[in-house]
């Protein structure tokens, strides 16, 4: 089973890893697309004013332009540690055991805007780029990534994909139709969609999976595991969508 997570706009600074190595990232079939976006971001970052306009940054966020300028040379850290925010704070990967972190590395992809889906333990620098940004010299990110990402996932041939991404990031790389998958929405017990608890519940779900490290290869297996863990996963009205009921 593979789990697809969205990234976060907020990130930790620094890192102890070497420079970004595109060839070492998961889903190597995306190498050309990754290089194109990195090149475009670095080139854009040479002009701070234009970068702020394109990326919709305030003066206080000018440091993000510097991050983009140094994409090829900045220190790196594992993607699951780089991202912060509600989902990743709930996941709290840094506090997991070595075995649980290895499980994340084997089963979790985080879908970044500049690099596409990357492994949870792939080493990445800090950057600034959102899914809806249009970069000079690159097609709109949805067109740039969607078909290539779908193809790269197909090459990986996962037995089952649990899609926890936001709709914006799911659009950057639809799961291939032939790959069994389920898209997750977080709701109350009455079925009302949630925002803040959406991210928190997803982070807690992935943390529980990493702690338990079950061997899952299908939706049926996931349902059985969730039932044992008192996690409510139920069918939504739309085909292929699961509702995760947020814990109180």
Task: Check if the beta carbon of residue 207 is closer than 8 Å to that of residue 182.
Answer: no
The Cα–Cα gap between 71 and 69 comes to 6
User: What are the tens digits of pLDDT across the range 92-143?
Assistant: 999 999 999 999 999 999 999 999 999 999 999 999 999 999 999 999 999 9
Contact assessment for residue 124 and residue 112, using Cβ atoms and an 8 Å cutoff: yes
Q: For residue 196, what pLDDT is reported?
A: 66
* H-run or E-run covering 108: strand 108-112
CB 7 within 8 A of CB 110: yes
What's the number of domains the chain is made of? 1
The CA distance from 149 to 30, in Å, is 7
Beta bridge partners, 111, equal 117
Rounded Cα distance, 29 and 57, in Å: 31
- 188: pLDDT strictly greater than 90: no
Residue 248 has pLDDT above 60, yes or no: no
Lowest mean pLDDT among 32-46, 51-65, 81-95: 51-65
Q: Tell me the percentage of the chain whose pLDDT exceeds 90.
A: 93
* Best CA proximity match to 72, nearest among 49, 39, 94: 39
High-pLDDT (> 70) share of the chain, %: 97
Domain that holds residue 68: 2-245
């Amino acid at each position: 089973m593979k789990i697809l997570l969205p990234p976060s706009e907020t990130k930790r600074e620094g890192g102890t890893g070497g420079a970004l190595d595109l060839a070492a990232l998961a889903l190597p079939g995306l190498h050309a697309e990754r290089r194109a976006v990195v090149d475009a971001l670095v080139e854009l970052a040479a002009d701070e004013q234009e970068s702020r306009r394109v990326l919709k940054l305030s003066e206080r966020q000018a440091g993000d332009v510097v991050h983009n300028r140094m994409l090829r040379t900045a220190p790196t850290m594992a993607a699951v540690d780089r991202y912060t925010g509600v989902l990743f704070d709930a996941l709290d990967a840094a506090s997991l055991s070595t075995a649980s972190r290895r499980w994340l590395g084997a089963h979790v992809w985080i879908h970044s805007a500049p690099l596409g889906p990357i492994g949870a333990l792939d080493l990445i620098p800090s950057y600034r780029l959102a899914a809806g940004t249009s970069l000079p010299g690159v097609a709109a990110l949805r067109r740039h990534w969607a078909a290539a990402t779908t193809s790269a996932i197909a090459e990986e041939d996962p037995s089952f994909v649990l899609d926890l991404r936001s709709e914006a990031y799911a659009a950057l790389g639809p799961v291939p139709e032939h790959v069994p998958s389920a898209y997750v929405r977080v709701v109350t017990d009455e079925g009302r969609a949630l925002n803040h608890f959406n991210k928190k519940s997803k982070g807690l779900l992935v943390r529980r999976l990493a702690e338990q490290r079950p061997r899952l290869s299908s939706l049926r297996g996931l349902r059985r595991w969730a039932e044992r863990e008192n996690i409510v996963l139920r069918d939504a009205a739309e085909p292929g969508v699961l509702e995760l009921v947020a814990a109180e």
